[in-house]
Amino acid sequence: MKDILQYIIKAIVDNPDKVDVAEDENEGVLNLNVTLAKEDMGKVIGKNGKVIKSIRNVMKIPAIKENKKIFINLSEA
């Protein structure tokens, strides 16, 4: 799932080389921490958070198939 998220985020941002996704799993809960450039943060969040909400909804599909919960967190590099 880390690769899927990384592919989606890199397609959106201007600086794909600064995108880093860290994966941490505990008891069926998958935490994906995305670190990206400060100037790309607005593109990933979108107006009123619509883009990040859509990304989270898309990422829920493979998580549900594996019976896991998924959380996506954004942070600046």
Q: Among the CATH numbers 1.10.10.10, 1.10.3720.10, 3.30.300.20, 3.40.50.1360, which is that of 2-76?
A: 3.30.300.20
- pLDDT band at residue 71 under the 50/70/90 scheme: very high
Residue 16 has phi, psi (to 5 degrees) of -65, -20
Tokens of 16: 């794909």
Q: From CA 73, how far away is CA 55, in angstroms rounded?
A: 11
The pLDDT score that the predictor gives to residue 77 is 86
pTM recorded for the entire structure: 0.90
